[in-house]
Amino acid sequence: MIEDSPTLTLQRNFARPDKVDMSALYNTPTEFIVDCMDGRGSLHHAIKPLLPMESSIVGIAVTCECGPADNLGVLGALDIAQPGDIVVASTDSFMHTAVIGDLVLGMMKNKGVAGFVTDGLVRDLEGIKRLSLPVFCKGITPNSPARSGPATAGLPVNLDSMHISSGDIIVADQTGVVVVPLGQLNTVKNKIDRVKSSEATLQQAVESGLILPPFYKEIVDTGKVIELTP
């Protein structure tokens, strides 16, 4: 028999990255960040910006586990969050009620939170439009949640198949949301200039008429390509 959980479990103190180390991630497309992590790191493709964005956002994740049809964890994350943080709410991809609306999002903006990410739904579209706070979600519904728990804030969560801890870095733009684990930040920071340079070089070659990338010729020249004839 499962024992009753505490209504809300908070972890206020967790390792945070140095803001200087995060600076390389600003104004960098999410695709470039992913390339620094061997082509992985994006959340599910259905988690997209609710409204059009002109630039990316970067912030430290403050995670919360809400479970289906409840948002007490979001309030716990709001309690913990610092200015510039991004609240990340796991709902087990629940698709029948919203996890947040414009009023709580307005409270987040008042505290200086940089954005909100969830694998669930949100509500109050017109109010959210007035806030100009970036929101990433799987959709929108008028249905409202409860706030009775059990829930956690500050502890690790899973959004679909992605494990996220408070203190990880979120980079989000018009194409989606990327998670940079805190332990990989230095690797990404050290690779980002090379990725940008490689992209710029290839882009210039494409604009100059390139038809096939150089690495394709390298594969063919290895002799490992079998070409069939009729």
Residue 169 Cα distances to 59, 70, 221, angstroms: 6, 25, 41
**Average pLDDT rounded to a whole number, residues 120-144:** 96
Summarize pLDDT for 32-59 with one digit per residue, the tens: 999 999 999 999 999 999 999 988 999 9
Q: What's the predicted TM-score (pTM) here?
A: 0.91
CATH number of the domain within which 173 lies? 3.50.30.40
Domain that holds residue 68: 8-191
Residue-level pLDDT at 104 = 97
Percentage of the chain lying above the pLDDT 90 cut:
76
Q: Has residue 77 been placed in a domain?
A: yes
Tell me the pLDDT tens digit for each residue of 76-87: 999 999 999 999
Q: Is the predicted pLDDT of residue 5 greater than 70, yes or no?
A: no
Which residues have a Cβ under 8 Å from the Cβ of 58 and sit 6 or more positions away? Answer: 22, 25, 26, 114, 169, 170, 171, 172
- Whether residue 94 is contained in a domain is answered as yes
| Domain-embedded: residue 228 | no
Residue 35 inside a domain? The answer is yes
Query: In terms of C-beta density within 10 A (0-12 exposed, 13-18 middle, 19 or more buried), how is residue 10 classed?
Result: middle
pLDDT(17) > 70: yes
| Cis peptide bond upstream of 17, omega within 30 | no
Mean pLDDT over residues 157-186, rounded?
96
What's the mean per-residue pLDDT of the chain?
Answer: 93
What is the strand order of the sheet 98-100 is part of?
A: 98-100, 121-122, 139-140
The answer on pLDDT for 6 being more than 80 is: no
The answer for 22, left when phi > 0, alpha when psi is -120 to 50, beta otherwise, is: alpha
Angle (CA) 25 26 31, round 5°: 60
Hey, how many other C-beta atoms are within 10 angstroms of the C-beta on 52? 6
In a domain, 196, yes or no: no
Q: Is residue 208 in some structural domain?
A: no
Q: Are 25 and 169 in contact (CB under 8 A)?
A: yes
Total domains in the fold of the chain: 1
pLDDT band at 4 (very low <50, low <70, confident <90, very high): low
Residue 200 belongs to some domain of the structure: no
Let me know if residue 155 belongs to a domain: yes
